[in-house]
Amino acid sequence: MESSSIPASTSLRVPDTVATVAANTLWLTEKTTDLLQRAPGSAVVVRYVQSSYQNDPIRSVVELLLFLLAVRYVLAPQYSPRKKGNHVELSEKEVDELVDEWTPEPLIEEQPELVQLSENLPVLHKDAPSGPRTKLRDGRTVINLASYNHYNLSNDQQLVESAVSTIKTYGVGPCSAPGFIGTFDVHMKLEKDIAAHFGTDDSVVYSQSFSTISSVISAFCKRGDIIVADRAVNFPIRKGIQASRNIVRWFDHNDMGDLERVLAKLVSERRPLTRRFIITEAISENVGDMVNLPRLLELKHKYKFRIVLDETWSYGIVGRTGRGVTELQNVDAANIDILVGSLAGCVASGGGFCTGYQIMVEHQRLNSPALTFSASLPTFLATTASAVIDRLQSSEGAKDMATLRERIDSLRTQLDRSDWVTCTSAPENPVLHLVLKDQHIKNRRLTRSEQEFLLQECVDECLNNHSIIISRLKSMPLMDGLHPRDVEKEYQPQPTLKVCATAALSKKEIEKAGIAVRHAITAVMKRSKWQRGTAPEA
């Protein structure tokens, strides 16, 4: 207050303007302080500021800085660090250049030749029977060795009649997911039948065989969990692994030594305790051979992993009552933590199942995407599957399986005589995978796609000259959006021919068919087109 008199005394020496400015400033400060003091709550602030300056300016400065930081933070404008990194400013010219450079993709893309090949399929007649003898659209009768209907149960009169009567009672589609109103008594009976067949606690039935294993994997694994999988696992397993976003390690196909190496390495790494799974197939879809289950279980127990076993290609086929590899190799199904199988194929129904401990099964009912989001199995398929499972355990089923084994042996004996191909399937597998012998691939320098073309010629030759339908392995579509360079790095099964044995043909007929397939392969291999690189034969 007393300082207001200073300008007056100094005004004699300094110019008048300065004196006026100074006086005005002081007057303004006074006014503001006065106003501030009149504002409500200002006394508190003044008291706070006065008391915080306790003869310690450093502490006050620290507090002031902290306060200023808060003020600065509160006043700063909002921004997103995510968007910041991606945004690129383009000039008008650059935009024009980009527009000029752009060429639209064709609406319908030109298919690669190999895909066109796969689309060139034989078309059946509209009244063609589904058995081993069928009719093409051009009226020709052919033998179908490309069907998984190994026991020809889909033409069994009794099963067809019971399916029809189920449709009359329940209708065709259940029209709802199992967790909603899609579960009927027949579904519950089927689940009990499967569990009784395996001797497990409980089981759950899926409506599609393909999505069963994908869905089971994603119900149990999440990001951070560890999966050790066979390099040759089928496409739905790969999709399941991909969808569950976990850490994957691959081991060489059915190589238990390599599996042990991978497991030992994983265990030795210091990792947080997460769920750990070994995923493999009982009978491989891509190669056809069989897993060594006792050894797998040994490793599982040693390294404390859980097993997910896909019995899609072995259920109903191997084992005394068709229970799959667990029965064949004398392993208690209770040792397999998650056992998945298929009711499509030789069971002549549809859908898939997962069986094991009660708690594992119950978890899926709410957590498995395919169970919660898709309609349940049509009821007539459920009753058919139940009937077939009963049949498998009866003397009739035993007779079917014995016949199928004989047919497989007959067919295989014929195909094994071929100089050009070898069979990679297990002796029990009715799907015979024929791959070109290494020496021929090497001598003729056949690339993967050339092998596919060659095998497709074999398929065509069989159909055109011998009236037998066989097929190629087409179970691994290329990954979408991958560069061909990266596709090479991914696992791709060796191109194979698939010849499916069936119990519905007599021994003579299947032998004849085997000989025909063998001759067809020989005929193609001797074509001049595929002779390049070979030394002239002596």
- The answer to whether 330 and 299 are in contact (CB under 8 A) is no
Phi then psi dihedrals of residue 235, to 5 deg? -60, -45
Restricting to residues 204-223, which ones interact with other proteins according to CB under 8 A?
Answer: 222-223
Task: State which residue, 242 or 292, has the beta carbon closest to other proteins.
Answer: 242
Query: Is 85 a residue that touches other proteins (CB under 8 A)?
Result: yes
Task: State which residue, 262 or 516, has the beta carbon closest to other proteins.
Answer: 262
H-only helix segments in 87-156: 92-101, 113-119
- The answer to whether 300 and 309 are in contact (CB under 8 A) is no
Q: How far is the CB of 363 from other proteins (least distance, A)?
A: 12
Q: How far is the CB of 179 from other proteins (least distance, A)?
A: 17
Buried-exposed string 179-201: b where 16+ CB fall within 10 A, e elsewhere: eeebbbebbeebbebbbebbebe
- The answer to whether 36 and 42 are in contact (CB under 8 A) is yes
Binding segment for other proteins (CB under 8 A), chosen from 67-75, 114-122, 125-133, 526-534, is 67-75
Binding segment for other proteins (CB under 8 A), chosen from 5-13, 243-251, 295-303, 519-527, is 243-251
Count of residues of this chain found to bind other proteins when the rule CB under 8 A is applied: 39
Strands 141-144 and 306-310: unpaired
- 519/525 Cα distance (integer angstroms): 10
Query: Is 36 a residue that touches other proteins (CB under 8 A)?
Result: no
Query: Is 42 a residue that touches other proteins (CB under 8 A)?
Result: no
Q: Which of 1, 12, 39, 74 binds other proteins (CB under 8 A)?
A: 74
Q: Which of 14, 27, 31, 56 binds other proteins (CB under 8 A)?
A: 56
Query: Is 323 a residue that touches other proteins (CB under 8 A)?
Result: no
Query: Is 52 a residue that touches other proteins (CB under 8 A)?
Result: yes
Query: Is 276 a residue that touches other proteins (CB under 8 A)?
Result: no
516: closest CA among 453, 437, 463, 446?
A: 463
- The answer to whether 471 and 459 are in contact (CB under 8 A) is yes
- 241/247 Cα distance (integer angstroms): 9
Cα angle at 436 between 434 and 440, to 5 degrees? 160
Query: Is 268 a residue that touches other proteins (CB under 8 A)?
Result: no
Q: How far is the CB of 252 from other proteins (least distance, A)?
A: 17
Q: How far is CA 432 from CA 52, 265, 321, 410, 496, in A?
A: 89, 35, 21, 12, 9
Query: Is 242 a residue that touches other proteins (CB under 8 A)?
Result: yes
Task: State which residue, 51 or 395, has the beta carbon closest to other proteins.
Answer: 51
Task: State which residue, 43 or 479, has the beta carbon closest to other proteins.
Answer: 479
Q: Which of 50, 80, 395, 447 binds other proteins (CB under 8 A)?
A: 80
Q: How far is the CB of 268 from other proteins (least distance, A)?
A: 14
DSSP state of 258: H
Query: Is 69 a residue that touches other proteins (CB under 8 A)?
Result: yes
Cα angle at 276 between 214 and 216, to 5 degrees? 20
Strand order in the sheet with 306-310: 202-206, 352-356, 338-342, 306-310, 276-281, 226-230, 247-251
Binding segment for other proteins (CB under 8 A), chosen from 59-67, 393-401, 494-502, 528-536, is 59-67
Query: Is 489 a residue that touches other proteins (CB under 8 A)?
Result: yes
Restricting to residues 404-423, which ones interact with other proteins according to CB under 8 A?
Answer: none
Query: Is 67 a residue that touches other proteins (CB under 8 A)?
Result: yes
The single-letter code of the amino acid at 24 is: N
Which region, left, alpha or beta, applies to residue 147 given φ > 0 means left and ψ of -120 to 50 means alpha? beta
Query: Is 224 a residue that touches other proteins (CB under 8 A)?
Result: yes
Task: State which residue, 160 or 478, has the beta carbon closest to other proteins.
Answer: 478
Query: Is 73 a residue that touches other proteins (CB under 8 A)?
Result: yes
- The answer to whether 237 and 214 are in contact (CB under 8 A) is yes
Q: How far is the CB of 224 from other proteins (least distance, A)?
A: 6
Task: State which residue, 21 or 70, has the beta carbon closest to other proteins.
Answer: 70
Binding segment for other proteins (CB under 8 A), chosen from 130-138, 244-252, 317-325, 401-409, is 244-252
Q: Which of 238, 323, 391, 472 binds other proteins (CB under 8 A)?
A: 238
- 204/450 Cα distance (integer angstroms): 43
**Residues of this chain that bind other proteins (CB under 8 A):** 48, 51-52, 54, 56, 59, 62-63, 66-67, 69-70, 73-74, 76-82, 85, 222-224, 238, 241-242, 244-245, 247-248, 271-272, 479, 482, 486, 489-490
